[in-house]
Chain A
Amino acid sequence: MIVCIAVVGHQNNPLYIQSFTEADDALKLHHIVHCSLDVVDERVNNPKKSGPMLNETFLGLLYPTENYKVYGYLTNTKVKFILVTTDLDVRDADVRNFFRRFHSAYLDAVSNPFHVPGKKITSKTFAERVSNIVKSVSFHTTG
């Protein structure tokens, strides 16, 4: 189950963060997202470590914790998407597909003339679309 999704600007400024669990988890999830940003920076600044995935927007699994898996995506415009899920055995293809749909929703939100670049995304349409994407996704557990 997807428990948290975040959009973070190029100066690590949060643009959107939404958790999909009981309220008392929020703080912990925000912390996980925060920690993952360093992993993204490290990956991008040390391209050797990321090997064949060099420059691909999908960054793959950033790090696993005991209860969560954290995935990352970095657009050409230096915007990070962070996904936190409780599914522990997830196919990359499904996560890629999720990010692809999420990216389209993000694009339409920032194409709104009233959205100010670098500021939080406040669009209700975006929030609804994200929640629909999250609901419709089920990461297949193999094994």
Chain B
Amino acid sequence: MAPAVPRSGDAIFANVERVNAELFTLTYGAIVRQLLTDLEEVEEVNKQLDQMGYNIGIRLIDEFLAKSNVTRCVDFRETAEVIAKVGFKMFLGVTASVTNWDTEGTSCSLILDDNPLVDFVELPDTCQGLYYCNILSGVVRGALEMVSMKTEVTWIRDMLRGDDAFELQVKLLKQVPEEYPYKDDE
């Protein structure tokens, strides 16, 4: 059987079931607002959003692998590109760019100029420590963990805090070698 050809983020997004982004954006906003009321501490809200994202990431990876036909990425560099161009696109409908590589190729930044999570959002002065989009960092961390990459994901820039883009730094901590029952390479 010939290996399936990896599909582009655009092609997958065009074919998945989609919903009005307003519903998604407002639901996420209502969750953040409710968490702030219930958990009180901004730090705790950041932590819980990250946790929710992590739980989502470990589930979404299956759909991602199934729909993208991505088999196995050669290295972390290729993985980052695939997340940015295919992963973000097929779920959120936007692509990220990858920059700021360190010399070892174990740390880079995902940059989002357009982010559907923050449409309409204006942070109040009382929430300055809030990483509003922290669910995204959790998703990336959770998804990568399922393909044996332990990462640390942190926000470097945040448009809600006045920066000119969203920048998510992804640092590879440890790569657990996987045992595959078959050889992926052609």
Is the CB–CB distance between A111 and B120 below 8 Å?
Answer: yes
When the two chains form the complex, which single residue of B28, B33, B122, B124 contacts A125, counting CB atoms closer than 8 Å? B122
1/0 contact trace for B112-124 toward A, CB 8 Å? Answer: 0000000111111
When C-beta atoms are compared, the residue in chain B nearest to A126 turns out to be B122
Interface set of A (CB-CB < 8 Å, partner B): 108, 111-114, 122-125
Chain B residues in 8 Å Cβ range of A111:
22, 26, 29, 119-120
**Distance (Å) between the CB of A40 and the closest chain B CB?**
27
Interface flag for B156 (CB, 8 Å): no
**Distance (Å) between the CB of A33 and the closest chain B CB?**
25
Chain A residues in 8 Å Cβ range of B122:
112, 114, 123-125
Interface flag for B39 (CB, 8 Å): no
Measured in the bound complex, the distance between the Cα atoms of B119 and A111 in whole Å is: 9
Measured in the bound complex, the distance between the Cα atoms of B162 and A125 in whole Å is: 13
Chain B residues in 8 Å Cβ range of A108:
120
Measured in the bound complex, the distance between the Cα atoms of B121 and A108 in whole Å is: 9
When the two chains form the complex, which single residue of B22, B26, B33 contacts A114, counting CB atoms closer than 8 Å? B33
Interface flag for B32 (CB, 8 Å): yes
Beyond A113-B30, A114-B123, A122-B124, 7 additional contacts (C-beta under 8 Å) are A111-B29, A113-B26, A113-B28, A113-B32, A114-B121, A114-B124, A125-B122
Measured in the bound complex, the distance between the Cα atoms of B135 and A118 in whole Å is: 29
Measured in the bound complex, the distance between the Cα atoms of B122 and A111 in whole Å is: 10
Interface-central residue, B28, B30, B121, by most chain A CB under 10 Å: B121
